[in-house]
A and B are shown apart, each in its own frame.
Chain A
Amino acid sequence: MMAALIFAVSVVTLLMFFVSYCRSLTAASSSYALSKEVRDVTGIHAFASGRDFARVMQLLQLCPERPEDRLGLRAVAYYFEILNLLQKTLARLTPSIQSWAEQERAGCANFAVVALDRRIAFSREILAQQGEL
Chain B
Amino acid sequence: MPGPLALVIWYIGIVLEITFVVCSIARKSFFRYLFLNAYFLLELGSSAGRYFFLSRFGQASAEYTYAYFYTDALLTLALYVALISLYARVFGELRLNNFVRYAAVLLLLATALFSYAVVAQSEQRLATGFAYELSQNLYFVGLVLTYILWGAVLKLRETRTRLVQFILALGLYFSGYAASYALVNLASKYSVVSFIGPALGCLLPLMWTVTMLRHSEESRLEPARLLAVAR
Contacts and interface: CB of A to CB of B under 8 A. Distances in A.
A17 B171 contact: yes
A112 to B, nearest CB: 15
A72 interface: yes
Given A7-B179, A100-B231, A68 B221 contact: no
A126 interface: no
A13 B210 contact: no
Interface in A26-85: 26-28, 30-31, 68, 71-72
Contact of A71 (B150, B164, B181, B206): B206
Contacts of B219: 28
B104 interface: no
A98 to B, nearest CB: 9
B89 to A, nearest CB: 16
Interface residues of B, number: 34
B147 interface: yes
A20 B161 contact: no
Contacts of B185: 3
B172 A68 contact: no
Contact of A24 (B176, B179, B226): B226
A10 B178 contact: yes
Nearest to B185: A3
A68 B210 contact: yes
Interface in B115-174: 143, 147, 150, 161, 164-165, 168-169, 171-172
A25 B215 CA distance: 10
B181 A6 contact: yes
B186 A4 contact: yes
Classify the interface of chain B: helix, strand, loop or mixed.
helix
Given A68-B210, A96-B231, A97-B230, A28 B161 contact: yes
A72 B210 contact: yes
Contacts of B222: 27, 30-31
B214 interface: yes
Interface string A1-15: 001101101110110
A96 to B, nearest CB: 5
B228 A23 contact: yes
A82 B213 CA distance: 27
A21 interface: yes
B182 A3 contact: yes
A104 to B, nearest CB: 8
B226 A30 contact: no
Contacts of A94: 230
A18 interface: yes
Interface of B: 143, 147, 150, 161, 164-165, 168-169, 171-172, 175-176, 178-179, 181-183, 185-186, 206-207, 210, 213-215, 219, 221-222, 225-226, 228-231
7 contacts: A14-B176, A19-B228, A23-B225, A27-B222, A27-B226, A100-B229, A107-B225
